[in-house]
């Protein structure tokens, strides 16, 4: 599975496009498996030229989540078995949610 196919990238507004909009949705979710299993990334905005997302990152270290930037190339580089097994996948069944909805579901 491609981590961010073009049809998913089109769902993401440009960086800063939803700034200050409490009802803005997070349309894409990635989750870790294996060693990365305690991590989840909810993407809200994306700059395809540099491959940077803005969104919510949830982990066992920060279970309520923290808003910030994360990089597509870094997510894609998280692998096991000499690069043959990806440790991050996109949730193909994720329905877009607001920040309040995501936090309520954690």
Adjacent-strand bridge partners of 28: 43
Query: What number of other Cβ atoms are within 10 A of residue 70's Cβ?
Result: 17
Classify residue 40: in a domain, yes or no.
yes
* Residue 4 belongs to a domain: no
How many domains does the chain divide into? 1
Please indicate, yes or no, if residue 88 is contained in any of the structural domains. yes
pLDDT in tens, 40-94: 999 999 999 999 999 999 998 899 999 999 999 999 998 876 667 888 999 999 9
- At residue 8 the predicted structure's pLDDT band, cuts being 50, 70 and 90, is very high
Q: Of 75, 18, 71, 17, which Cα lies nearest the Cα of 49?
A: 71
Does residue 77 fall inside a structural domain?
yes
Residue tagged 């949830």 (tokens)? 58
* pTM given for the model: 0.92
Residue 45 covered by a domain: yes
pLDDT at 33: 86
- The residue segments making up the domain with residue 58 are 24-105
Is residue 86 assigned to a domain? yes
Q: How many CB atoms lie within 10 A of CB 58?
A: 21
- pLDDT for the residue numbered 84: 74
């Amino acid at each position: 599975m491609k981590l961010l196919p073009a049809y998913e990238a089109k769902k993401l507004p440009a960086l800063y496009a939803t700034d200050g909009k409490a009802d803005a949705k997070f349309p894409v979710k990635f989750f870790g498996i294996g060693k990365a299993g305690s991590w989840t990334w909810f993407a809200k905005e994306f700059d395809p030229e540099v491959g940077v997302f803005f969104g919510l990152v949830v982990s066992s270290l920060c279970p309520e989540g923290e808003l910030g930037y994360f990089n597509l190339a870094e997510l894609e580089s998280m692998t096991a078995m000499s690069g043959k097994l990806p440790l991050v996948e996109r949730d193909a069944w994720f329905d877009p949610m607001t920040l309040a909805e995501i936090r309520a579901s954690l």
